[in-house]
Amino acid sequence: MAICAFFSNFVAINAESIKQTFSNTQKEFGKFMTEEEKILGEAEYSAQNIQVLEGLEAVRKRPAMYIGDISFNGLHHLINEVVDNSIDEALAGFCDKIEVIINEDNSVTVQDNGRGIPVDMHEKEHKSALEVVMTVLHAGGKFDKGSYKVSGGLHGVGVSCVNALSKKMISQVYRNGKVYQQEYAYGKPLYDVKEIGVSDKTGTRQQFWPDDSIFTETVFNYDRVANRMRELAFLNAGITIELTDMRKDEEGNIRHDVFHSVEGLKEFVRYIDSSRVHLFNDVIYINTEKQGIPIEVAVMYNTGFSENLHSYVNNINTIEGGTHLTGFRRALTRTLKKYAEDNKMLEKAKVEIDGEDFREGLTAVISIKVAEPQFEGQTKTKLGNSEVSGAVEQAVGEAFSIYLEEHPKESKVIVDKVILAAQARVAARKARETVQRKSPMSGGGMPGKLADCSSKDPDESELFLVEGDSAGGSAKQGRNRTFQAILPLRGKILNVEKAQWHKAFESDEVNNIIQALGIRFGVDSEDSKVANLDKIRYKKVIIMTDADVDGSHIDTLVMTFFYRYMPEVIERGYLYIATPPLYLCTKGKVKEYCWTDQQRQRFIDTYGGGQEGAIHTQRYKGLGEMNPEQLWETTMNPENRMLKQVDLTNATEADYIFSMLMGEDVGPRREFIEKNATYANIDA
């Protein structure tokens, strides 16, 4: 069994949202794409487009407005929403344990040991407070507990949204020595809150069954939930989050994890960076408060070449950055520069040092709590509060200069690394300029291997990155020339996880991709590593490789390249992976392409059983085994094909996984492979 068997699942981890697209027949793939458009269409509705509807009907009418979408991500958002309420109770200081159970019937239970949602009569509404919380939109916010509520982005829509989108929900409150309960169907109470028993415990227990008439995907993914629970445990030291999956796997086992962090971000940064080689073992750690803003920061330096900043505001991953990151960067540059200058360490460097040089090989997690966060940006994950940058800059600046003064050995190692980074940056610029000068591509020309499409409209244009020249040839013949361009890749592209930037820019394959896409680096930004997408020529970039372990490896190399060099391509949802079929099943005149073993089995069951049926199936191992028409029909034609969209739902986990898979350390990689191998059966 080859070592790379895990890669297809790896895609699934970073692109979970598309896992559900494995529908049953080819026809359904087509249907899914329309479904997808429908989902996107809904998500684009802005608040102004929506009339304010009464109560939870609004949520059921336009679910995507409240939870982002109605497929994989939206489904998992339900769990986050319920857990966030318990986290709020923990942040208020009244709860330290949260249990999450994915039940056998695919309902979810969330139980905490907080004070319990109040059940007494709400004066205005003449209803129990519990009923108000569960049935009135945004009622959650009415109880101001004086803490930093987890809200913003898509978060904080309230548990009533979960209720509205569940065919059934049961709330139980342990409080005043009693147990209270109320049940709901589609958000509507089935009876008044009632006492159902006695208990000396306190807390809240919520169980919900997502409404399968609303969600296109209703099966929860353990890893997806686990990643978020792990993240929450790191971000909120001291809380224990227990996760259990009661659905048995093939061996009849259930899964269970307990997430608990004593040292918070200090442990988080060690976890993210566990596969990297460090310049020194220390975590530079800050846990303080400035201008009323709690600030926690953990920093590690490694021998790698990328900058990995992970930032959170009120437990929300601010993927687009914002004022807290600005403050952090400024403090880092200022203090390191001053330290190096004061100690006359830069003189021998012979290059100008730039801000970005201070961040090469840096992994940092920043978590702050803001009472009234303003979230901006395309995905509402960019912090806008202007008062924050100064506070973070001051906190980080003070702590960093103390660290540097007290650790001269480590400080020298950091400064030496900074100088190397500056020299590499200059070399990278030269390499880029040389490439542009010597190649026939300068002046807007395109790489010779690119078969471009005729459209010049990026919105409709697609670039296929195809494994190998021969499959590239088939794709060139099979494609729709109007909007589909083909760029063949020769073999495995450079593993950028292990290469300096200038090495990447010296690689032909890398340059071809950058050139074909029309991406420019260091334009409109002080940072030469920031990709500028203004002139991007295709808004779909589709990686198309063989359905085998090597193909998956190439997928991963290309994804790593995009993730490290132009994450915005992924953030904007432009990166996809094509999925060629695994089998062509034929019986007489009936022909069916199959993408999974289950589909193939179904074909065999339908058209002739047992051993004999398996004799009528042809296993495709390579794109090259299909002729151009077949390739078009199954893998490229937007009507039939199934694309997996690569997304960055959890950028921190992606960083951890990319560095583990592509880095130096063999142990964790092997473990991951063994856990996630998917090609084991078909390539054996």
What length does the chain have? 684
**Could you tell me which of 163, 130, 145 has the C-alpha nearest to residue 56?**
163
Please, what is the minimum distance in Å from the beta carbon of residue 116 to ligand 0RA?
6
Compute the least distance from the CB of residue 197 to ligand 0RA, in Å: 19
Positive or negative: CA dihedral 248, 249, 250, 253 = negative
**Which tokens go with 255?**
């899964």
Smallest distance from ligand 0RA to CB 142, Å:
9
**Smallest distance, ligand 0RA to C-beta of residue 94, A:** 7
Min separation Cβ 114 and ligand 0RA, Å: 4
List b or e across 617-636, with b for residues whose CB sees 16 or more CB atoms inside 10 angstroms. beebebbbbbeeebbbbbbb
The answer to whether 540 touches 564, Cβ cutoff 8 Å, is no
Q: Which is nearer to ligand 0RA, 39 or 229 (CB)?
A: 229
Please report, for residues 89, 442, 449, 470, the alpha-carbon distance to residue 490 in angstroms, rounded to integers and kept in the order given.
54, 22, 10, 10
In the complex with ligand 0RA, the residue whose CB is nearer, 134 or 636, is 134
Q: By C-beta, is 119 or 636 nearer to ligand 0RA?
A: 119
**Closest separation in Å from C-beta 204 to ligand 0RA:** 4
Structure tokens at 416: 């030496």
Query: Which residues would be at the binding site for ligand 0RA (CB under 6 A)?
Result: 85-86, 89, 112, 114-118, 143, 145, 204
What does the buried/exposed string (b/e) look like for 36-66 if buried means 16 or more CB atoms within 10 Å of the residue's CB? beebeeebeeeeeeeeeeeebebbbebbbbb
Q: What is the 3-state secondary structure (H, E, C) of 492-545?
A: CCCCHHHCCHHHHHCCHHHHHHHHHHCCEECCCCCCCCCEECCCCCCCEEEEEC
Q: 228 or 600, CB closer to ligand 0RA?
A: 228
Q: How far apart are CA 585 and CA 592, in angstroms?
A: 5
Q: State the first-to-last Cα distance of the chain, in angstroms, to the nearest integer.
A: 6
Minimum CB–partner distance for residue 201 and ligand 0RA (Å): 13
Please, which residue, 112 or 131, has the CB nearer to ligand 0RA? 112
Residue closer to ligand 0RA, measured from CB, 146 or 444 = 146
If the CB atoms of residues 145 and 675 are measured against ligand 0RA, the closer one turns out to be 145
Orientation of helix 408-438 relative to helix 323-342, angle to 10°: 110
Element (H, E) at 235: helix 222-235
| Burial per residue of 218-246, b for 16 or more beta-carbon CB atoms within 10 angstroms, e otherwise | bebbbbbbbbbbbbbbbbbbebebbbbbe
- List active site positions: 467, 546, 548, 550
